[in-house]
Structure 1
């Protein structure tokens, strides 16, 4: 019995020494198992099984709880003030995402990466969301919006309406700078513009730019949406448009401006003509798709006028007078744009002229169009030739001067060939017109066709990029006012809404 009591007393003393050593030295559990190398029995004593099964990273408070009496009051008080325990809880709250490492010779597979809260990025995304979806600035202060953001990321910091308004202006300036950089690489730009009055009786003017980018994709961008003070005379409209294009530094790239048929726009057109010195035919632009519809209407009216029914004849005469009021003035811009559509070419012009006019007038109009096409083509050939000479002139001259195996006369002959090489350029237009027309496929992509065939017809591709940007109507500007009507409505016309 005495021996058993002694063993029990020794075990109790061993546990007390172990727990006392942990509390005083604040060593990890694994450290208590290594010893101090000096034969100290207290240092080399092993922990009880309940303690040694735990990891060395477990907080001391939990070790004490597991190894001693089952009371939890002291444990609860300690966890309220334990810094390590709180840091562990905060680390668990941080969101993580799974991503794939790039496969290489050493590592591959899934990994977990912690994403830190980026307040600037969240503000920028919110600003773009508000602009795109036409939300009010006050939305960021709504209670349940902030609850949602807190659920998505506990580290989310609320943003006020004034801060998000300032962020929207910053994003606007950033996007404006990007558009200015993009417009530097554009050669030809067409504009559409229109006026609109809101329900607060405030007049606005919108200017929209249309251009074909380097990938032969049609792009549309709103350059200006401003309030226009009365009176809305032609001179006021002309000055506002000119101020817009000069602000964007694109006055040398404008090839056409599309407006509606209001009387004040006639004065604006004359003012802009004087400012831009636009060639006749570019003031009332239409696209290649629009011209065939106009031809179909005139052919239908001529057939109606030739019928035996007197009612049809009178109706056809009245409609033809109205038609000629707008389309009797020659506008060969849309005709040239139609020729540059490989589905139509010059064959369509020859056919529709004989359908709309008598034989003599049809031939006359056809010769006028062909003459304008040849003249315009020669101008683009000369422009392209000058660009090529600037690019390759210096290098060719250096090659002739430094070459020892090439006779001097050969260099002069090469210069002569470069100066007289106009035959291939003439054959480019002839080859295009002689090739078969493309099929009338409703899925035909005109811009993609020119993107693919630009190396084959480089000069004609330059012409196509210019004429195919011409818009038929000002619908793009009017659609911008549809958005303006929602944004500038009675419930959202104030900046704090």
Structure 2
């Protein structure tokens, strides 16, 4: 051992050949360093004499494995309670002299970390929920071995135990959400989607969307319940009734957005409205009750138009496959494109049949290389899939029409908080373009456009009123955009349709006026002045504070008396007559209403509910291509689980995403020295 100077603490470790700085880690109270062959060293446990790799030449192995040996009970000497005293600094080891005194260290918590079996089981349940692992993972030998390597004291839960933990997590998160929904300042809108299984049973998924007290758009899954006949209107009515009762939302329902095929929409709408009218005070006599999913209609129209040229799409898909089958063919095709002076930024790509946007992008890229495909067919006898000139014309027309849907979908997906106001502008542009396309002199264009317009026009007729009301709540557009767009769609009849929207807005506003409104002081009280009068208008009550210190007491009384008799404009009329807010890219409509809540106390409550309508059922930030076009399939494993476990897995996964983050455990790798 190398001696130390009188001014330095004595080090009992055998340092490597090269001079190193003194080791400060706590583990060196329990290990010594021993030299082995070829300049390598190993760390030797003072208690059990087991050695571990430490350095090989210039490379240091670190101390994490040494800490685990001491802290996690791997050392057999430490496992014996009678030997634990050997870990204390200054104690004797195997008859050797007492370790010389060292600097005193503040022990880090890793050495005394507490293991809690219950918390570990809860975290295991949350892991299974969030990542959709099978419950039987707790019986997988590989997973059991992995868990034991991390914490030998952890007792792996059984499948029955983990089911109980999952239900416990579900109930706890449900109570948190129920409390939040009980404090909602406005109404809630529901979305309904269907899930089928390989059996005759199915599931109905109900989610609620709302704007919370801080004016943030929120969406939460509420129920995922099994029904015997998910495609029947009675099943949906019963599911909605159970959901509203379960969450105490009977008086807070605003709208319902359905995800069903077009032919059955009218049946669903009528039955749901009739079933719930007597139990809920539906706004505007149920005119806004049923909403159809905007993503659904985009996907239905897109898939229908692609089906009209499915043969051509097949040829293009096979052509792309042929070229991408080998690097030699890709190189040959690139040479042909270069000779033809085709310089495209679009790369040939294969599509995913279930996502129509990929098919659209494949067709767009193929259009750029249509001449190259024709040349390839003439110089390569093994290729005979090139579309004809007429086929390319159809592809060009379809792409021009699909671009309307694709661009609209991109706008929706790129919006962080897709409030209801953004959908009107997208929908009316498509309606106008498709209407104009149906009048084209080109028979192919008008034929394809008519098929698209037929279904989109039905959506427009069903949902244009609610979309228009929502955009009126946007201070950048109000009724002006409705007037402008309707003139493009309806021509000379536009004024009649605008009046329908205007009348509906004013009628809806009056329903909110009839509801109680919390009193808000009109003037801030200063210097302890008392309120002596209250002025009422046709919308709300305003408290007027008297300022008697400035000699205008009589004036204040006069104002309070005349405020009762003077006729003032309603909030809705004042809002509509004010100038439009400038259109800026960073405009936050929810924040605007939050800031103008005091100015428009009644209208802001109406705006909160209207803007919170889920016009699209797809979650914000998710792909909407291919979504909402029919029932989704529950996999075989989850179909085999009990319905209550299935509901707990789906709902808890949704809720845990919004749970507050768990505070990180302070780092235990730092050991502070005390002198």
The TM-score by the shorter chain falls in which range?
0.5 to 0.7
What is the root-mean-square deviation of aligned Cα atoms in Å?
4.4
Shift of 1:356: 0.9
Shift in Å at residue 147 of structure 1? 3.2
Of 268, 286, 289, 1:265 maps to 268
**Closer, same or farther: CA 446–224 of 1 in aligned 2, 3 Å:** same
DSSP-derived class of the 1:358 partner: helix
Report whether the alignment pairs 1:436 with 2:581: yes
For residue 184 of structure 1, report the CA deviation from its aligned partner.
0.9
How many Å separate the matches in 2 of 1:432 and 1:485?
55
Secondary structure in 2 matching 1:357: helix
Q: Aligned equivalents of 1:343 and 1:214: distance in 2?
A: 23
Provide, for residues 46-78 of structure 1, a one-character-per-residue CA deviation record: whole Å limited to 9, x for no partner: xxxxxxxxxxxx9xxxxxxxxxxxxxxxxxxxx
Matched position secondary structure for 1:128: helix
- Give the corresponding residue for 1:217: 216
The aligned counterpart of 2:374 is: none
Q: TM-score, normalised by structure 1?
A: 0.66
Task: Indicate conservation of the 8 Å contact 2:506/2:572, yes or no.
Answer: no
Farther-moved stretch of structure 1 (317-326 vs 185-194):
317-326
Alpha-carbon deviation of 1:272? 2.7
* Cα distance between partner residues in 2 of 1:215 and 1:446: 13
1:212–1:219 contact (8 Å) kept in structure 2: yes
Distance 2:462 2:81 in 1: 86
1:111/1:399 CA distance change after superposition, 3 Å: farther
For the residue of structure 1 that corresponds to 2:471, the secondary structure is helix
| Equivalence for 2:291 | 285
Partners of 1:346 and 1:433 within 8 A in 2 = no
Query: Compared with structure 1, are the counterparts of its residues 481 and 364 closer, same or farther at alpha carbon in structure 2 (3 Å cutoff)?
Result: closer
Contact 2:204–2:227 at 8 Å: present in 1 too? yes
Equivalent position SS for 2:183:
coil
Instruction: Trace 1:228-239 onto structure 2 (pairs within 5 A).
Output: 228-230=227-229, 232-239=231-238
- CA separation in 1, counterparts of 2:612 and 2:159? 40
Indicate yes or no: 2:612 matched with 1:469: yes
- Partner SS for 1:155: coil
Which structure ranks higher in relative contact order (CA pairs < 8 Å, sequence separation ≥ 6)?
2
Q: Does the 8 A contact of 2:437 with 2:449 survive in 1? A: yes
- Do the aligned partners of residues 204 and 85 (structure 1) sit closer, same or farther apart at CA in structure 2, a change above 3 Å counting? same
Is the partner of 2:174 in helix, strand or coil?
Answer: helix
- Structure 2 Cα separation of the partners of residues 255 and 494 of structure 1: 28
In structure 2, list runs of 5 or more residues that go unmatched: 1-28, 30-76, 90-104, 293-419, 534-545, 620-626, 647-675
Worse overlay, 365-374 or 81-90: 81-90
Structure showing greater radius of gyration is 1
What residue number does 1:140 align with? 138
**Equivalent residue number for residue 302 of structure 2:** none
- Report the Cα offset of residue 197 of structure 1: 1.7
- Distance in 2, Cα, partners of 1:125 & 1:271: 42
Matches of 2:644 and 2:569 in 1, distance apart?
Answer: 63
| Most deviating of 287-296 and 453-462 | 453-462
Change in Cα spacing, 1:134 to 1:380, as seen in structure 2 (3 Å) is: same
Residue number in structure 1 paired with 2:468: 335
Contact conserved, 2:424 with 2:471, CA < 8 A, in 1?
yes
How far the C-alpha of 1:253 sits from its partner, in A, is 0.8
Distance in 2 between the 1:479 and 1:314 partners?
A: 23
Partner of 2:349: none
TM-score (norm 2): 0.50
- The number of residues matched between the two structures is 395
Aligned with 2:635 (options 462, 465, 485):
485
Distance 1:481 1:455, change over 3 A: farther
8 Å CA contact 1:210–1:220 kept in 2: the answer is yes
Question: Which residue does the alignment assign to 2:482?
Answer: 349
Query: What is the CA–CA distance in structure 2 between the aligned matches of 1:479 and 1:320, rounded to whole Å?
Result: 17
Task: State the distance in 2 between where 1:446 and 1:80 align.
Answer: 63
SS in 2 for 1:178: helix
The yes-or-no answer on 1:376 pairing with 2:508 is yes
Give 1:224 deviation, angstroms.
1.2
Deviates more, 1:150-159 or 1:198-207: 150-159
In structure 1, what is the Cα distance between the partners aligned to 2:83 and 2:566?
84
Structure 1, gaps ≥5 residues long: 1-57, 59-78, 92-108
Separation (CA, whole Å) in 2 of partners of 1:116 and 1:155? 11
Q: State the shift of 1:453 in Å.
A: 4.6
Note the 1:75-474 alignment, pairs <5 A.
Answer: 84-86=82-84, 88=86, 112-113=108-109, 114-186=112-184, 187-230=186-229, 232-259=231-258, 260=260, 261=262, 262=264, 264-266=267-269, 267-278=271-282, 279-285=285-291, 287-309=420-442, 312=445, 320-328=453-461, 331-359=464-492, 361-381=493-513, 383=515, 386-388=517-519, 400=532, 416=561, 419=564, 423=568, 426=571, 429-430=574-575, 433-439=578-584, 441=585, 444-455=587-598, 457-474=600-617
CA deviations on 1:248-273 (whole Å, 9 max, x unpaired) are: 11011110011124255233343233
Note the C-alpha offset of 1:450: 3.5
Tell me: CA distance 1:241–1:193, structure 2 relative to 1, closer, same or farther (3 Å): same
- Give, in angstroms, the shift of residue 247 of structure 1: 1.5
Aligned residues of 1:342 and 1:438 also touching (Cα < 8 A): no
> Tell me, what secondary structure is at the counterpart of 1:423?
coil
Segment drifting more, 222-231 vs 422-431? 422-431
Structure 1 pair 429/479, CA: closer, same or farther in 2 (3 Å)?
farther
Contact kept, 8 Å, 1:343 with 1:438, in 2: the verdict is yes
- CA offset at residue 110 of structure 1? 8.0
The Cα offsets for residues 108-128 of structure 1, whole Å up to 9 and x where unpaired, read as x98623321122211211111
- Map 1:49-64; keep pairs closer than 5 Å: none
